[in-house]
Amino acid sequence: MYSSDYFRVTDRKVLVDFIADHPFGILVSGLGGLAATHLPFLIHERGEKLILSGHMALANNQWKDLDGSDVLVIFNGPDAYISPLWIPEKVPVPTWNYITVHANGIFSILGREERNRVVKDLVGKFEGDGGFSDRVEEDAYQKMLEGTVGFNIVVSVIEGKWKLSQNRPLESRKKIIDGLRSSGDPGDLEIASEMTKTI
């Protein structure tokens, strides 16, 4: 991922926390042509290893040739259009502020038991104490599980980009924050909040 020094984030804890808070990623692979699937992920730290876990539909052809292959997972946060009208110095073009994390790693298919655990852990993360297990019909649940493929990705490279106008003078950044807040758009407000943290 291209990133200037202004925007690059390398702190592993920041990146791991971001993925935990924004777990819906895009799995991208290039074997046999580019493919991408939008999926929820769990992230685990096992000593020095960083592992992403997930599952996808058995009918999705993307997984079939991936075992042992390098893949990319993209996790996106908030984003917002930045108008040049908000910037006091002469800026001829608009830009876009955003937060994203890219994780490259080796994809491996899980056995049935491990896959079931990943699915259970994902449901547990998002259901919490919602009583899901009390409402599910076990036979139907098992049938749905058999239509999925579980996988791990052992991360080899993780990088983050927080493009939040850090390359602009402080006064300009404050004006951009004011412009974002005035729009009332939820994404704009999130970016304004993230920008405020960098000042």
- Cα(195)–Cα(126) distance, integer angstroms: 28
**Domains of the chain, earliest start first:** 8-83+95-167 (2.30.110.10)
pLDDT for residue 139: 75
CB 78 within 8 A of CB 187: yes
Q: Find all residues with CB under 8 Å of 63, minimum gap 6, and list them.
A: 56, 107, 109, 149, 151
Poorest-pLDDT segment among 45-49, 51-55, 100-104, 176-180: 45-49
Strand partners, 26: 38, 74
Tell the residue number behind the tokens 């850090």, with chain if given. 166
CA distance 22 to 101: 10
pLDDT at residue 133 in the model = 61
Token pair for 134? 């009390």
**pLDDT digits over 117-150, tens only?**
999 899 888 887 665 666 667 777 788 889 999 9
pLDDT in the model for residue 136: 67
The contacts of residue 186 (CB under 8 Å, 6+ apart) are: none
Q: Is the pLDDT of residue 65 over 70?
A: yes
Q: How many CB atoms within 10 Å of residue 68? A: 9
pLDDT score, position 141: 76
